[in-house]
Structure 1
Amino acid sequence: MVEQQYVALNDPAQFGAVVQAWGARWPSMGLFVMLPEQEKQHVPWIQGYCRDHGIALMGAVFPALVAQGGFVSEGAWLVCFAEQPDYLLQTDLQGAGAQALEQWTRTTLAGSKAPQTLFFIFDAMVPNVSTLLGNLHMALDSAPRYAGVSAGSETFTPMPCLFDAQRHVGDGVLVIALGEQARTVVQHAYPVSKTLMNATAAQGNRIIRINDRPAFEVYQEVIAQEYGVALTADNFYDYAVHFPFGAVTVVDVLVRIPVALGEDQSLVCVGEISPNTNLRLLRAPELAQSHCVAQLDAALRSAGRPAGSALMTFYCAGRRMHFGGESALEVQQLQETTVAQALFGALSLGEIDSVEDLDVPRFHNAAMVCIAA
């Protein structure tokens, strides 16, 4: 990534002027476009423009954009690659598409002397991102560095949200090879409760039973004991985003935000929960007590990010729901603390990175993703 520009879409001439200027400077350029959901109707003419002008296009639709020190629901981010990167736009991930993803990844990584960063943008309607990434990782001889997010509608309404110059699809993944120099860090910095639970029955992203009892019953009990909250089916949506589960792993606790309550008292979360996963209840912090920005800055420094370089940043929609109006302040704090010359990106519906030193992929909620390239 060498340049980025925010443009309004009510005037196609502005889009064309930016892309033509980049094309004159970098004739082999590739173009990555991020659109907010409110602007999704512009995908066809963007595709047509790129086809007519021979521009290699990759793009995705997100709930909103990270721009202007906060979030916007209009316009688009245009991101220029000096050389068109290898990319894959793949559907049918529950069938033959998973094999196509594996083959493309093998081919893309072949001959690499250093770890490559692969940036995955999944449609948020894909229910098993963790499983797909885990299966891909196990099938590879050498691991890439994983980075990525989920795109689509914040209401989780199915819609085409991934595109290139020819196709506009949903229920799939767009993968972009970012090369050897890209560095990715992901943090959520959510405090962990004392109570340890076990998902004794779970399927996909649904927790059916905790400690051999209905999941919601245990959730009510623990949230009352730990935080004094009287949780009911009626106020579930008011509290769930502020009190997510933490899936305990060997190296970390991964946030899983409950987003739906089943008639059987099961809990549907964003992200998979394997049977017998150990769980803790998390309490999303107040912004004044959050260490997330400081942790991101420290991790970027440790990863060798050049001081002041631009950051492609993705901010979880669930995190924005928790912080409300203060979420824009957290974005501003991130830019000020990292001294980024530009902060550009989108609101995400799930976040992906690698376990440090192991390059094992993992799927987050409630996190911020920063990519320096």
Structure 2
Amino acid sequence: MAVFSDVQFTAEVSVDALTDSIAKLMLSKPKGIMILCSAQAASWGHDFNQYIDGLEIPIFGGVFPGLIIDSRFEPSGILVAGFVNNIKVSVIENVSTSSPFSLNLIPIPSSVNSIMVLTDALSRQIDAYLQYVLRFVPERCSVFGGGAGTLDFTPQPCLFSGAGMHQDAMILVEMPTRWDLAVGHGWEIMAGPYLANSTDDNCILELNFEPAARLYERVVQGHSKFLFDEHDFFDIAKTFPFGLARLDDSVLIRDPLKVEGTGLICAGDVPENTMLYIMCGDADKLIMAATGAVRKAISTFSDKHQVSDCFLFDCVSRQLFLQDDFAKELDLIDAEIAQPYRTVGALVLGEIELDQSGILSLHNKTAVAALAQAQTQVAR
């Protein structure tokens, strides 16, 4: 059984275009609506709030650097998807300024099999909130999602709910559907490790007791042909992320987004006194890691199941790094999805995944695919 009642895409980004798309979507009688939009939607404000006042079903979504529909990457547009089953949408406000322990959360019912999390990528304390929310998640529940925002990294409203547009917020979407998760990045160690001896949530202040920006720029320039004086910081940094060493010998990728003073702002927290590597990538290995993870997840399905619809949250800096090769990654992932099912998603600023060992992580430069299971049709 499909998860999506219908999917609509339009290249025009306006509240009027959104109205038309949702009117078409409503013919499929959805019980909830996801709205994914490109950067222009960040300025909708009052017009959007007025429009959604008239909707009587749950909605959620966000503003992202790009959209994914089947095997296509769309740098601009509106993508709306209707849900066949009921969903519940909750909004957590003031993520950067309030303690997660001030939340009045209640345990999520065991009938909830998955939770999508969308967050303002520029918020502080994202990891702290994720770990707190995890306390209320039932066993065997899949959790996945991504960070919303735009590539100019300007704080602004970037999330949608039935209450309007939100900034510095986190959205939780409870679903009865069970999604199997596939995660892969393919980045390799170039230099390090370096001790992150001084950090402040998502800002690395010092590496090896040296201003973080100074060490990072020196090492990258020493291993490449790039000069930071001649390029915007992120134009170079997208190719050389950090790898945060974990106890299982894996690395959690952290994207350095911009320089602030002599520190580096990352998409996700960096705990103090952790060891960081500077990573590099090869296009073929990145594509193989993402598509291989999807193929491996599908191979674990029983004979009675096939893949139904797919959510794909792929890091925007993977697309910026892969450029034309990004189409190959989308083609190979979507090829695993049997017709008439759909792949929908977005380029995100941080990817969220609850792994099989129970660790809820905010990744960077990673592809996270959520795969719904459908019953295999038995031939008569």
- TM-score range for the pair, normalised by the shorter chain length: 0.7 to 0.9
Deviation at 1:70, TM superposition (A): 2.9
Supply the AA of the counterpart residue of 2:270. I
Q: Is the 8 A contact 2:61 2:118 kept in 1?
A: no
Aligned equivalent of 2:28, options 16, 19, 22: 22
Instruction: Give the structure 1 partner of residue 78 of structure 2.
Output: 76
Cα distance in 2, alignment partners of residues 359 and 247 from structure 1: 18
SS at match of 1:155: coil
Deviation at 1:45, TM superposition (A): 6.0
2: distance between equivalents of 1:273 and 1:13? 41
1:149 Cα deviation after fit:
0.4
1:332 to 2:331 alignment: yes
Per-residue Cα deviation, 1:291-345 (whole angstroms, up to 9, x for no partner) = 2233222342155394352211122111112112322332122212455642211
Structure 1 residue 22: deviation in Å? 1.9
CA apart distance, 1:276 = 0.9
Secondary structure of 1:366's counterpart equals: coil
2:174 corresponds to which of 177, 186, 203: 177
RMSD: 3.0
Distance in 1 (CA, whole Å) between partners of 2:45 and 2:301 is: 36
In structure 2, the residue matched to 1:219 is 216
What corresponds to 2:319 in structure 1? 320
Q: Deviations over 1:151-207 (max 9, x none)?
A: 122212122122223322111011001235122222211122363221111111222
Paired position in structure 1 for 2:58: 56
Contact in 2 for aligned 1:122/1:149 (Cα 8 Å):
yes
- The sequence identity of aligned pairs, in percent, is 21
Equivalent runs, 1:1-373 vs 2, <5 Å: 1-8=3-10, 14-23=20-29, 29-40=31-42, 51-52=53-54, 54-67=56-69, 69-94=71-96, 98-99=100-101, 101=103, 103-104=105-106, 106=107, 108-109=108-109, 112=110, 116-137=113-134, 144-179=141-176, 181-193=178-190, 195-223=192-220, 227-229=223-225, 231-235=227-231, 236-251=233-248, 252-264=250-262, 266-287=263-284, 290-302=287-299, 304=301, 306-339=305-338, 341-356=341-356, 358-373=357-372
**Distance (Å, rounded) in 2 between the aligned partners of 1:175 and 1:181:** 15
In structure 1, list runs of 5 or more residues that go unmatched.
none
Q: Distance in 2 between matches of 1:289 and 1:142?
A: 31
Aligned equivalents of 1:85 and 1:97: distance in 2? 27
Helix, strand or coil at the partner of 1:311: strand
Separation in structure 1 between the aligned mates of residue 19 and residue 177 of structure 2, nearest angstrom = 35
The alpha-carbon distance between structure 1 residues 5 and 324, as it changes in their structure 2 partners (threshold 3 A), is same
Report SS of the residue matched to 1:309.
Answer: strand
Cα distance in 1 for residues equivalent to 2:101 and 2:261: 36
Unaligned runs of at least 5 residues, structure 2: 373-380
Distance 1:313 1:120 in 2: 13
Q: Structure 1 CA distance, aligned partners of 2:365 and 2:277?
A: 15
TM-score where L is the length of structure 2? 0.83
Paired with 2:48 and 2:193, the residues of 1 have a C-alpha distance of: 50
SS at match of 1:207: strand
Task: Give the 3 Å change call, closer, same or farther, for CA 286–12 of structure 1 in structure 2.
Answer: closer
After superposition, what is the alpha-carbon deviation per residue over 1:233-286, rounded to whole angstroms, capped at 9, x for unaligned? 44444321101110111232111122222443x222221111111111110222
The alignment partner of 2:105 has SS state of helix
Asked whether the 8 Å contact 1:121–1:150 carries over to 2, the reply is yes
Does the 8 Å contact 1:70/1:329 carry over to 2? no
State the partner residue of 2:375.
Answer: none
Contact 1:240 1:257 in 2 (8 A): yes
Higher share of residues assigned helix: 1
CA distance in 1, matches of 2:334, 2:21: 25
The TM-score, its normalising length taken from structure 1, stands at 0.84
Asked whether the equivalents of residues 207 and 267 of structure 1 are also in contact (C-alpha less than 8 Å), the reply is yes
Moved more, 59-68 or 4-13: 4-13
The range that moved more, 137-146 or 287-296, is 137-146
For residues 21 and 47 of structure 1, do their structure 2 counterparts lie closer, same or farther at Cα, with a shift above 3 Å needed? farther
Displacement of 1:68: 6.0
Count residues in correspondence.
361
- 1:94 deviates by 4.3
User: Contact 1:63–1:347 at 8 Å: present in 2 too?
Assistant: yes
Relative distance call for 1:359 and 1:180 in structure 2 (3 A) is farther
CA contact (8 A) 2:142 2:179 kept: no
Q: Is this contact kept in 1: 2:38–2:76, CA < 8 A?
A: yes
